[in-house]
């Protein structure tokens, strides 16, 4: 009896099947209506209001920081408007003892994790005290090297596991960061050792000016988790409730010993990549900007809260005024901080003996600064 001939393996069909599994998790539509109860997080009215307050406060901080940068009163700054839900709702799902390993756009998460705003301003100015975090604040300074925080997160998470801690390490990068080698090494290492890590890709569609479709042929960035053997989720990054839900789920999975997760938040930055000369009008159209403005995370969440009778224009104005006052106070404190000296730069760069040529320069500057 002749055996039945097996159909040839079709790799393309397998790929298409995998990609079809990655649907976008969403809770709210653009009018703030709940469209999927299955993903509705268990948050009290007070927590919902607190999350909205943080988002409004951070939008004010972004607007003020852009102005301060243009005035020459801040140094490096990467705008955050449009990414508040992605950043703050994910941080809101953490516990105080969890670790954050941020990219350079992720200062808001650090602030709400315990970083004084004055420190954030000093970090932007390149002052070494801006990276000296308060005792008990579990975080690293924002990483400038694209994707490097992914490898560091794998290590921190493994350390938490070895110490028996019921905590996680979360990290963030952009869609451009997912094209870096450190990205793959980090998620693979964490997966192999079942380290309690949460890897977030904030897909704002552009790596500076390079569109996402020119970085990878993959339909989603979340599907890159498959190669590492970990769950990957695509979430509406302009929907605070959806972001909170998937992050909380990833955290629960991690502390249960089931290993890391990869989350792709579909979001958008309304401003330039950084304030260091980037002009988004050269690579983004006004029509594209307009479409994403309709998805503004603050507008959507505001409508949701207003429908529940939890938010008013008066309440929002109060938060905005409080933010302005706190920013003013923090800026004054930063301005009053003694300027960093050349000798201090040398001292904090070397824990032991300096090279002879630098030691000679150090002595010269030390003498000048003492006069």
Q: What does residue 198 show for φ and ψ, rounded to 5 degrees? A: -125, 120
**273 catalytic per annotation:** yes
Cα–Cα distance, 174 to 326 (Å, whole number): 29
The first and second tokens of residue 353, run together, are 């003996």
For 82, the 3-state DSSP assignment is: coil
Three-state secondary structure string covering 93-143: CCCCCCEEECECCCHHHHHHCCCCHHHHHHHHCCCHHHHCCCCCCCECCCE
268 catalytically annotated = no
Helices (H), the chain: 11-20, 45-70, 84, 90-92, 107-112, 117-124, 148-162, 181-192, 225-228, 240-253, 286-293, 297-307, 313-335, 342-349, 356-370
- Pick the catalytic residue: 59, 127, 273, 300? 273
* 47 contacts: CB under 8 Å, gap ≥ 6: 92
* 283: annotated active-site residue: yes
Burial class (CB in 10 A: 0-12, 13-18, 19+), 277: exposed
Q: Measuring CA to CA, how many Å separate 63 from each of 81, 96, 156, 285? A: 8, 27, 33, 22
According to DSSP, the β-strands at 206-207 and 210-211 are antiparallel
- Active site residue: 184, 270, 283, 365, which one? 283
Helix axes 45-70, 313-335, angle to 10 degrees: 50
3-class secondary-structure state, position 169: strand
113 Cβ neighbours under 8 A, 6+ residues apart? 91, 94, 96, 100, 137, 138, 139
- Length of the chain in terms of residues written: 371
In contact, 62 and 80? CB cutoff 8 Å: yes
Catalytic residue among 269, 284, 300, 302: 269
What is the set of active-site residues? 269, 273, 283
């Amino acid at each position: 009896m002749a055996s039945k001939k097996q159909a040839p393996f079709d790799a393309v069909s397998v790929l298409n099947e995998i990609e079809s599994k990655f649907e976008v998790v969403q809770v709210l539509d653009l009018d703030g209506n709940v469209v999927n109860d299955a993903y509705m997080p268990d948050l009290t009215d007070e927590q919902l209001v607190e999350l909205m307050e943080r988002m409004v406060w951070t939008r004010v901080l972004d607007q003020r920081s852009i102005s301060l940068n243009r005035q020459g009163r801040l140094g490096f700054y990467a705008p955050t408007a449009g990414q508040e839900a992605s950043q703050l709702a994910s941080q809101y799902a953490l516990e105080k003892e969890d670790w954050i390993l941020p990219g350079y756009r992720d200062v808001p998460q650090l602030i709400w994790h315990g970083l004084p705003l004055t420190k954030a301003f000093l970090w932007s100015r390149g002052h070494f005290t801006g990276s000296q975090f308060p005792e008990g604040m579990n975080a690293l300074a924002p990483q400038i090297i694209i994707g490097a925080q992914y490898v560091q997160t794998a290590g921190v998470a493994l350390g938490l596991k070895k110490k028996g801690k019921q905590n996680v390490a979360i990290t963030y990068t952009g869609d451009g960061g997912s094209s870096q080698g450190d990205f793959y090494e980090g998620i693979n290492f964490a997966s192999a050792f079942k380290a309690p890590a949460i890897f977030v890709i904030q897909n704002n569609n552009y790596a500076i000016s390079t569109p996402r479709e020119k970085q990878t042929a993959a339909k989603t960035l979340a599907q890159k988790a498959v190669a590492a053997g970990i769950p990957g989720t695509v979430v509406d990054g302009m929907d605070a409730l959806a972001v909170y839900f998937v992050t909380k789920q990833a955290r629960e999975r991690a502390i249960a010993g089931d290993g890391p997760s990869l989350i792709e938040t579909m979001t958008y930055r309304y401003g330039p990549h950084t304030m260091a000369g980037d002009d988004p009008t050269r690579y983004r159209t006004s029509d594209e900007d307009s479409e994403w403005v309709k998805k503004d995370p603050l507008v959507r969440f505001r409508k949701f809260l207003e429908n529940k009778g939890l938010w008013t224009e008066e309440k929002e104005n109060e938060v905005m005024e409080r933010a302005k006052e706190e920013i003013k106070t923090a800026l004054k404190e930063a301005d009053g901080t003694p300027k960093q000296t050349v000798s201090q730069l040398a001292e904090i760069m070397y824990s032991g003996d300096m090279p002879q040529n630098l030691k000679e320069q150090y002595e010269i500057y030390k003498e000048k600064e003492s006069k």
